[in-house]
Chain A
Amino acid sequence: MSAKKTKTIKTIKIDVDKCNGCRACEVICSSFHAIPKYSNNNPARSRIRVIHEPLRDVYVPVYAGDYAVAECAGRDKYIIDGKEYDECAFCRAACPSREEFKEPDSGLPLKCDMCEGEEEPLCVKWCLVDALTIEEREVEIDDEEEEKRDEIEIGLESLVNRFGIDKVSDLIAQISKK
Chain B
Amino acid sequence: MRYAETGFNLEIDLTRGNIEKVASDPRDTELYLGGLGTNAKIIWDRVPPEVEAFSPENLLIFGAGLLCGTPATGCNRTIVSTISPQTKLLAFSMMGGFWAPELKYAGYDKVILRGKSPDLVYIWIKDDKVELRDASHLAGKGSIETAELIREELNEPKAQVAAIGMAGENRVFYASVEQGRSSASRGGIGAVMGDKGVKAIVVRGTKDLNVADPEKYMELCNDVLKYIKHREDNPIPGVMPILAGLGSPQEMKVHDEKWHTENFMWGNSRVRRRDFWNEEVEKEWTETMEKARTRLISCFNCPMKCGATISMPGLPTYMMKCFTKLTYTMGAFSDLDFGLRIAQKATEYGVDGFSAPQVMAFALELLENGILTDKDFPDMPEDNEGRFFYLLDKIVRREGIGDVLADGTYWAAKKIGNGADAYAHNNIKKHEQLPLKLSMLNPVYFLMYATGEKMNITQIEGQFPQAPFATREEREAFVSDWIQVPDEKFKQILLDWEFRGENSNPYYPTVEMACDIVDWQETMHYIDDALGQCAGLSSFPLKPPYHIHNYPEFISAGTGMEMDKDKLTEAAKRYRTLVRAINIRRGMRRKDEKPPANHWKKRFPELEEKLLDEYYKLKGWNKDGIPTRESLQQLGLGYVSEDFLQRGILSKDDEAADQDTAAETSVEA
Binding site for B on A (CB under 8 A): 20-24, 27-28, 31, 34, 36-45, 53-57, 59, 104, 126-129
Residues of A within 8 A of B300 (CB): 22-23
Interface size class of B (residues with CB under 8 A): 35 or more
- A24-B303 in contact (CB<8A): yes
Residue of B nearest to A24 (CB): B301
Q: For chain B, residues 207 to 239, give those with C-beta under 8 angstroms from any C-beta of chain A.
A: 207-211, 214-215, 217-218, 225, 228-229, 232
A–B Cβ pairs within 8 angstroms, 24 of them:
A22-B303, A23-B98, A24-B301, A24-B302, A24-B303, A27-B71, A27-B301, A28-B71, A37-B214, A37-B215, A38-B215, A41-B69, A42-B206, A44-B105, A44-B205, A45-B208, A55-B144, A55-B317, A57-B294, A57-B317, A59-B295, A104-B206, A104-B207, A128-B303
- B208-A55 in contact (CB<8A): no
- A54-B296 in contact (CB<8A): no
Most A CB within 10 A of own CB, among B209, B228, B299: B209
Q: Beyond A20-B296, A20-B298, A53-B157: 15 further Cβ-contacts under 8 Å? A: A21-B298, A22-B302, A28-B71, A31-B218, A36-B214, A37-B214, A37-B215, A38-B214, A38-B218, A41-B69, A42-B208, A57-B295, A128-B228, A128-B232, A129-B298
- B319-A39 in contact (CB<8A): no
- B225-A34 in contact (CB<8A): no
- B301-A44 in contact (CB<8A): no
Residues of B within 8 A of A59 (CB): 295
- B209-A54 in contact (CB<8A): no
- B206-A44 in contact (CB<8A): yes
- A129-B305 in contact (CB<8A): yes
Partner of B299, one of A22, A34, A128: A22
CA of A39 to CA of B319, assembled, Å: 34
- A42-B209 in contact (CB<8A): yes
- A128-B229 in contact (CB<8A): yes
Partner of A34, one of B69, B205, B208: B208
CA of A128 to CA of B294, assembled, Å: 20
Residue of B nearest to A128 (CB): B303
The answer to the question of B70 belonging to the interface, with a C-beta cut-off of 8 Å to chain A, is yes
Residues of A within 8 A of B493 (CB): none
CA of A34 to CA of B298, assembled, Å: 25
Partner of B305, one of A20, A41, A56: A20
CA of A126 to CA of B221, assembled, Å: 10
The answer to the question of B365 belonging to the interface, with a C-beta cut-off of 8 Å to chain A, is no
CA of A27 to CA of B75, assembled, Å: 12
Q: Would A41 and B144 be within 8 Å (CB), given that A28-B71, A126-B225 are in contact?
A: no
- A41-B297 in contact (CB<8A): no
| Nearest chain A CB to B295 CB, angstrom units | 6
| Nearest chain A CB to B165 CB, angstrom units | 16
Interchain pairs with CB closer than 8 A, number: 91
CA of A56 to CA of B301, assembled, Å: 21
Residues of A within 8 A of B215 (CB): 37-38
Residues of B within 8 A of A39 (CB): 210-211, 214
Residue of A nearest to B311 (CB): A57
Residues of A within 8 A of B157 (CB): 53
Residues of A within 8 A of B245 (CB): none
| Nearest chain B CB to A169 CB, angstrom units | 62
| Nearest chain A CB to B475 CB, angstrom units | 30
CA of A40 to CA of B558, assembled, Å: 10
| Nearest chain A CB to B345 CB, angstrom units | 16
Q: Top 6 nearest A-B pairs by Cβ distance?
A: A38-B214, A128-B303, A44-B206, A22-B298, A104-B206, A40-B208
CA of A57 to CA of B310, assembled, Å: 10
Residues of B within 8 A of A126 (CB): 225
CA of A124 to CA of B254, assembled, Å: 27
Residues of A within 8 A of B199 (CB): none
- B208-A54 in contact (CB<8A): no
Q: Would A55 and B148 be within 8 Å (CB), given that A20-B305, A128-B303, A129-B305 are in contact?
A: yes
Residue of B nearest to A59 (CB): B295
CA of A43 to CA of B105, assembled, Å: 9
- B73-A24 in contact (CB<8A): yes
CA of A36 to CA of B218, assembled, Å: 13
Residue of A nearest to B305 (CB): A20
Residues of B within 8 A of A127 (CB): 303
The answer to the question of B181 belonging to the interface, with a C-beta cut-off of 8 Å to chain A, is yes
Residue of B nearest to A36 (CB): B214
Residues of A within 8 A of B225 (CB): 126, 128
| Nearest chain B CB to A79 CB, angstrom units | 16
CA of A128 to CA of B298, assembled, Å: 12
Residues of B within 8 A of A21 (CB): 297-298
The answer to the question of B180 belonging to the interface, with a C-beta cut-off of 8 Å to chain A, is yes
| Nearest chain B CB to A123 CB, angstrom units | 12
CA of A44 to CA of B209, assembled, Å: 11
Most A CB within 10 A of own CB, among B208, B210, B317, B319: B208
The answer to the question of B309 belonging to the interface, with a C-beta cut-off of 8 Å to chain A, is yes
CA of A20 to CA of B73, assembled, Å: 14
Residue of A nearest to B318 (CB): A55
- B303-A54 in contact (CB<8A): no
CA of A137 to CA of B225, assembled, Å: 27
- A20-B214 in contact (CB<8A): no
